[in-house]
Structure 1
């Protein structure tokens, strides 16, 4: 049997206390419920029913599809489609995104993309990064033009930013990053806040948001009609 990690103990304590009114007994007096650390965490898995799965699969194929259209394709009553679709949206399970391709395969505004891995020193916290991202509208405008995608990560116990930076060329990306992005980060978090920077040149995307494989199953902005439904994964 594997040893319990601190996170495991916290989750177990929370589950037992909420469901059965007792603690696990592991790490008594030393642990804090995981929900107290991050209130957004829900330990109960939300499993979609068969109608919800059918609705979501069709929306993955065509996010513009109307409730009537989804009902016709799936056989689910249109009122049920509307109700369940709205509930999935309200729960934050179902979201919609539009991608404008500015790369060489699209408008050709940008011809290169690099992944920058920016690791912060000890003392820069996850919550601090989240707060600054929400508050600094000027940084957001710079990021909107330059960053295709970004994530907060953890490397060797320290928080890091993963930035997918677009540019006209490799040199343009280097200049954009060091003239616009990094100075903004240093201003927000301190002149010595960044511990290290590494970069990877990206060539071509393979899979996006789990089900979209541009070089395989995408055609004219949608998943190909002949792509099998059981190849679209919507959870357990």
Structure 2
């Protein structure tokens, strides 16, 4: 774990970028921030912090869009996610750090490529699709801090618009991250680090909201996925080197 003034500054920069992306596109904090947080804090602490931050951002984001939640789809999705969170947390505690880095990076990279491709999967439709997406997302969220891509793929296969997707993704973020924090715990950070994290989240929200009015949605989405792909590849490289 990197400590001191430099480490706090890096931590703040990572959280600020992830928070900006989350407010800009409705999701993406974990995709952008997790690989960098894992490299900076270590796998366990990086995932735990991502769970805390992404959950907090989702709570705030949900406040303005809860009326557009699709209860019929989200109940089975969130229940399935909650049931698989313990398995992901169990795996995280038992794998060596290089293996975790490699696994997390590979999951992020694969997920980004699937979302970029707009993969159509018959199994991700209807109530069955909600259960599958939720189960995979819950496991990935607690194991690697990245549980959004399965839900994104479900939304693509269900034909949801961005307006429909965002509030439902926020609800999912609240539920799955609450269970993930319960399973993984809260990261052991000092006061200065927590201060840097909270401050970066506030500033990131302001930046993201401001940019949302200026950057076209497709360009913003491509930027998020490109950053996530680079982070995933870096984590894979460091994990493989550690082995």
- TM-score normalized by the length of structure 1: 0.24
Larger CA Rg, structure 1 vs 2 = 1
- TM-score normalized by the length of structure 2: 0.24
Q: Give the helix-richer structure, 1 or 2.
A: 2
Larger RCO, structure (CA 8 Å, separation 6 or more): 2
